A and B are shown apart, each in its own frame.
Chain A
Amino acid sequence: MWFEYFTNGKHMAWYASVRFTLIAAFAGAALAIVFGLLGASARRSSFAPFRWLGLAYTTMVRGIPDVLIFLFFPLAFEQGVEWFMAQRACSATELASGTWPPCADAQWFLSTTEYLIMACVSLGLVYGAFAANVVHGAMDAVPSTQLESAKAYGFSRRQIFWRFQVRQMWIYALPGLSNVWMLLLKATAFLSLLQIADIVLWAERLGAPNYFARAGMLHPDWRWRYYLVLFLFYILMTVLSEHFFKYLEKRAGRGMRLNEGSSSV
């Protein structure tokens, strides 16, 4: 049967590898929201060094390509852990030798799971800076009268922040956050750079020419067909995301009096 080609083990592994992309996208987005809220509150802090830190974070991420940070963070984290391991496991002469890692015991071998976790953190870090900027703008867009009323009613500063400013900012932040999500979703294509066998890596393996009958159907270089499928896959994800964010915007705007079409930050 012709469709048996599409249900062989390699293809099944390809379909299953979509999970890495989806996990990275959702976990990365959740972390980006956390880093975004942290970054935005740092930038609004009354303590000046926090404000500088927030500004440095957003400017640095703006000036450096996402792929560089995506590669740098896992490598730096791995080396940091290895440094701590070396302090305990290696002898003084080995530590002074100047090679890396100083001894075999201090080598940390990473598996797909660990790389995936670090990929999520990297995505969160990079797009958290974009989210911080969006959230910062959205917090400013919350009418100050709302906050003043809350203060007049005797809410504490923390209560005003969480129950009024953060509660009401979402409608202003959603269009921007939707764009950040689109960027993050497209950045999940980089997973293969961390040796994760994701959809991109499998597409290359499946599309490579096969001249060996026992390995399955004989075919020339079909890589562009597989990449075309990924191209369409990401466009489909974008379409779905757009619909989802439209629904969210409708939901977040419940009970709020907004001018027609003023939902952009």
Chain B
Amino acid sequence: MSDLFTNFLASGFVGDVVILAKPALFNIYFALASIPFGFPFAVMLALMKNSSSGLVSRIARTYIYAFRGSPLFIQFFMFYSLMLAFNLSHWKPMGIDHIVMHPLFIGPLVLVLNTSAYAAEILYGALRAVPHTELEAAKAMGMNRWQTFRSVVWPNMIRLAWPAYTNEVIFLFHATAIVYFTLPVINEQKDLMNKAGELFERDYNVFLHFSVAGLYFLVISLVIFFIAGKIHQRLTRHLVPTDRNTMSMKPNFMR
């Protein structure tokens, strides 16, 4: 038994888990830095798409369609090369080039632009699904537009959109894997894919290194799912269990 255990320790699995812990933080950083900006932006886009003004609605529709209809990989290349093109003429004279050209800035920037389009589509769908009867009740009670939004539209929208939004957050976390395929790596600022690739080039043990990297993604995805599930329970605590739309960790096609 102890032989088995020492063999396991020597197999490199534990070593890889330790080595890849810090790179995993970079993936977590990219996702965590994107959500606080992506979510409000998505809410704004969803409200714009629902707007009665034709122009405002069309702008939001075009934006959402363009960013959902093209690969994030291309969006990264495009925005990074755009930032580069503006570097000498704008960022350097303004003295902000070391901030705005940094991968830790551009990464979340592009992820925010991308994820807000997907999340906006989800929130828009939820916005349309807010029960009409509740809106009519709010009107009958003499609520103004802001009061209606605050107490009827918003809580319903968040509750209805939550399972799909969780799915989007997991997709966003997975999307952080391609950040450093498109942006320069500075010193030891490497994410899971970089580090797994580097370890692979040392001893060509593809099964070990990529499995451990995959395991990190899998475990963190499950943690996100678990936390989001708890929040979902809280959001739907006033409903009878059969009325809750349940969440499940399965390949969801809603992206």
List residues of chain A with CB under 8 Å of any chain B CB: 58-69, 71-72, 75-76, 79, 100, 129-130, 132-134, 176, 179-180, 182-183, 186-190, 193, 200, 203-204, 207, 221, 223-224, 227-228, 230-231, 234-235, 238-239
Contacts and interface: CB of A to CB of B under 8 A. Distances in A.
- When A and B form their complex, which 6 residue pairs have the shortest distance between CB atoms, in order from nearest? A238-B69, A63-B218, A65-B174, A227-B78, A186-B71, A223-B81
B51 to A, nearest CB: 23
Contacts of A134: 253
Contacts of B20: none
Contacts of A183: 253, 255
Contact of B181 (A133, A187, A188, A193): A193
A227 B222 contact: no
A156 to B, nearest CB: 31
A186 B217 contact: no
B251 A179 contact: no
Nearest to B214: A64
A200 B78 CA distance: 11
Interface stretch (B5-13, B35-43, B100-108, B205-213): B205-213
B175 to A, nearest CB: 7
A194 B206 CA distance: 15
A194 to B, nearest CB: 12
A35 to B, nearest CB: 12
Contacts of A187: 71
B77 A65 contact: no
Nearest to A186: B71
Interface in B179-223: 181, 193, 197, 200, 203-207, 210, 213-214, 217-218, 221-222
Contact of A68 (B78, B170, B210): B210
Given A60-B214, A223-B77, A231-B74, 6 more contacts: A76-B210, A130-B252, A133-B251, A224-B84, A227-B77, A230-B77
Interface string B232-255: 000000000000000001111111
A233 B200 CA distance: 34
A253 B121 CA distance: 27
A72 to B, nearest CB: 4
5 contacts: A58-B250, A68-B177, A71-B210, A79-B207, A230-B70
A187 B71 CA distance: 7
Given A68-B177, A71-B210, A179 B78 contact: no
B73 A179 contact: no
Contacts of A204: 77
Nearest to A39: B251
A125 to B, nearest CB: 12
B140 interface: no
Contacts of B249: 59, 62-63
B178 interface: yes
Interface residues of B, number: 44
Nearest to B221: A63
A107 to B, nearest CB: 11
B204 A230 contact: no
B1 interface: no
A129 B250 CA distance: 9
Contacts of B129: none
B207 A186 contact: no
B15 to A, nearest CB: 17
Contacts of A182: 69
Given A227-B77, A227-B81, A130 B253 contact: yes
Contact of A238 (B70, B72, B210, B214): B70
B66 interface: yes
B193 A68 contact: yes
A42 to B, nearest CB: 14
B32 interface: no
A200 B68 CA distance: 18
B200 to A, nearest CB: 7
Contact of B200 (A64, A67, A75, A180): A75
Contacts of B175: 65
Contacts of A203: 77
Contacts of A67: 177-178, 181, 193
